């Protein structure tokens, strides 16, 4: 099928490069980020529930998001190209990795977008309970499941002076996605639409392979049945990547929260930029 390879247009190439290098920059920034300063926003949130720090969980969400984007970047826009290297863009890996980045970073944005330290702490505890719940569902042994229930009960007891149990109900997936859309100036319907397309792609659904690609009929091998080639729609691939990472994206929104939360300073940003500069010159 090499005869049917279609070159990537310049607009798409530049968009991919922006996402790839931007994700690498923010990964360097995060790796050079220290603990919250004593008077920072994150320190205030951590003080409300010091047992499992909101700043640590926030970092974990953002780390996961950037790992997925950097994996995509290393696949399609490596820093060093072998002379024989060829990139074939297929839509499922792009949508799947971008969806993973959206899922992870949306939790970070939701946690840090609360208007008060108390609300951020409440969201943090709700996310912990959601994590416990999902972990418990993946366990098979009764004693392991009970351990998950015990951890959840311990959280409620520790937080009892600050929060009622009904305030700490685990959120819903689309509840988090739609809530965070406004925090990063995305339309909730657009974010859900793109997420559903990415989810369908990741799960091997047929409809994304038709809706997210240009289908070109070739020979009719049976009456009404055609051999086809399917070319990924570059605009759709760019859209999902930019929702994961662009000026109004979830990853950048989470990264801004790190800075606002008092976990880093300008010297840390310079270190990150210097690290990325070295990588761009060939030293990962």
What is the pLDDT at residue 268? 46
Question: What pLDDT digit, counting tens, does each position of 181-204 carry?
Answer: 988 888 999 999 999 999 999 999
Q: Of all helices (H) and strands (E), which one includes residue 220?
A: strand 213-222
Q: How far apart are CA 30 and CA 242, in angstroms?
A: 20
CA separation (Å) from 212 to 94, 195, 206, 223? 12, 13, 10, 26
What is the pLDDT at residue 275? 40
Which among 128, 178, 136 has a CA at the least distance from the CA of 154?
A: 128
Least reliable range by pLDDT among 143-147, 256-260, 263-267: 263-267
Q: How far apart are CA 270 and CA 89, in angstroms?
A: 33
Exposure on the CB side of residue 245, measured as CA atoms within 13 A: 31
Buried b (16+ CB within 10 A) or exposed e, 11-23: ebeebbebbbbbb
What is the pLDDT at residue 5? 65
Question: What pLDDT digit, counting tens, does each position of 40-85 carry?
Answer: 888 999 999 999 999 999 999 999 999 999 999 998 888 887 787 7
CB distance 143 to 120 below 8 Å: no
Q: What is the pLDDT of the chain when averaged over all its residues?
A: 84
DSSP secondary structure letter of residue 7 = P
Tell whether 1 is covered by a domain: no
Tell whether 237 is covered by a domain: yes
pLDDT over 80 (residue 233): yes
Q: How far apart are CA 162 and CA 283, in angstroms?
A: 48
More confident residue, 89 or 16: 16
Tell whether 270 is covered by a domain: yes
State how many domains the chain has.
Answer: 1
The predicted model scores a pTM of: 0.84
Tell whether 267 is covered by a domain: yes
What is the pLDDT at residue 257? 66
What is the pLDDT at residue 40? 85
Range of the domain at 148: 7-199+233-280
Tell whether 221 is covered by a domain: no
pLDDT over 70 (residue 144): yes
Tell whether 110 is covered by a domain: yes
Tell whether 58 is covered by a domain: yes
Which among 101, 87, 92, 79 has a CA at the least distance from the CA of 12?
A: 87
Tell whether 57 is covered by a domain: yes
Q: What is the mean pLDDT of residues 235-257?
A: 76
């Amino acid at each position: 099928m090499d005869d049917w390879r279609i070159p990537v247009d310049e607009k798409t190439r530049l968009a991919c490069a922006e996402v790839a290098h931007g994700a690498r920059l923010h990964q360097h920034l995060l790796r050079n980020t220290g603990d919250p300063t004593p008077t920072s926003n994150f320190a205030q949130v951590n003080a409300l529930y010091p047992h499992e720090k909101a700043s640590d969980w926030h970092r974990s969400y953002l780390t996961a998001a950037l790992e997925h984007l950097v994996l995509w970047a290393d696949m399609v826009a490596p820093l060093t190209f072998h002379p024989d290297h060829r990139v074939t863009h297929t839509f499922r890996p792009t949508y799947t990795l971008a969806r993973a980045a959206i899922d992870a970073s949306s939790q970070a944005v939701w946690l840090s977008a609360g208007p008060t330290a108390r609300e951020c702490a409440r969201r943090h505890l709700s996310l912990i309970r959601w994590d416990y719940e999902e972990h418990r569902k993946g366990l098979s042994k009764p004693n392991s499941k009970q351990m998950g229930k015990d951890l959840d009960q311990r959280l409620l007891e520790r937080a009892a002076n600050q929060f009622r149990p009904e305030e700490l109900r685990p959120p819903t997936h689309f509840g988090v996605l739609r809530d965070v859309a406004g925090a990063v100036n995305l339309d909730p319907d657009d974010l859900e639409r793109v997420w559903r397309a990415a989810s369908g792609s990741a799960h091997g659904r047929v409809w994304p392979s038709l809706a997210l690609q240009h289908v070109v009929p070739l020979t009719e091998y049976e009456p009404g049945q055609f051999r086809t080639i399917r070319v990924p729609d570059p605009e759709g691939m760019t859209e999902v990547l930019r929702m994961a990472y662009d000026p109004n994206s979830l990853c950048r929104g989470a990264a801004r929260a790190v800075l606002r939360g008092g976990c880093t300073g300008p010297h840390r940003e310079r270190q990150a930029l210097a690290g990325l500069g070295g990588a761009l010159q060939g030293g990962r």
